[in-house]
Amino acid sequence: MVLTDLDSLRALFGKGGITLSEEQYARLEKYASLLVDWNSRMNLTAITDPAGIAEKHFFDSVYPFAMADILPEGVRLIDVGTGAGFPSCPLKIFRGDIELTLLDSLNKRINFLTELSDEIGLGARCIHGRAEELGRKPEHRGQYGAATARAVANLSALCEYCLPFVKTGGAFIALKGPDGAAELRAAENAVKVLGGEVERCEEYALPGGDGRSLIVIRKIRETPEKYPRNKGQMTKKPL
- Residue 111: CB atoms within 10 A of its CB come to 14
What single letter denotes the amino acid at residue 236?
K
Q: Which of 135, 138, 146 is nearest to 174 (CA)?
A: 146
Helical spans, DSSP H, in 121-199? 131-134, 155-162, 180-186, 188-193
The 8 Å CB, 24+ separation contacts for 2-5 are 2/29, 2/30, 2/32, 2/33, 2/36, 2/50, 3/28, 3/29, 3/32, 3/50, 3/53, 3/54, 4/50, 5/50
Domains contained in the chain, CATH given: 73-236 (3.40.50.150)
Adjacency order of strands within the sheet including 99-104: 125-128, 99-104, 76-80, 144-150, 166-176, 211-219, 196-205
Is residue 67 within 8 A of residue 214, CB to CB? The reply is: yes
User: Looking at residue 3, what is its pLDDT?
Assistant: 54
CA distance 79 to 225: 22
Distances (CA, A) of 168 to 126, 161, 162, 171, 229: 24, 16, 13, 8, 20
Is residue 35 within 8 A of residue 89, CB to CB? The reply is: no
User: Looking at residue 4, what is its pLDDT?
Assistant: 54
User: Looking at residue 1, what is its pLDDT?
Assistant: 44
Beta bridge partners of 126: 102
Going residue by residue through the chain (239 aa), what tens digit of pLDDT does each one get?
Answer: 455 567 788 889 998 999 999 999 999 999 999 999 999 999 999 988 888 999 999 999 999 999 988 999 999 999 999 999 999 999 999 999 999 999 999 999 999 999 999 999 999 999 999 999 999 999 999 999 999 999 778 999 999 999 999 999 999 999 999 999 999 999 999 999 999 999 999 999 999 999 999 999 999 999 999 999 998 999 899 99
User: Looking at residue 5, what is its pLDDT?
Assistant: 65
Is residue 25 within 8 A of residue 54, CB to CB? The reply is: no
User: Looking at residue 8, what is its pLDDT?
Assistant: 81
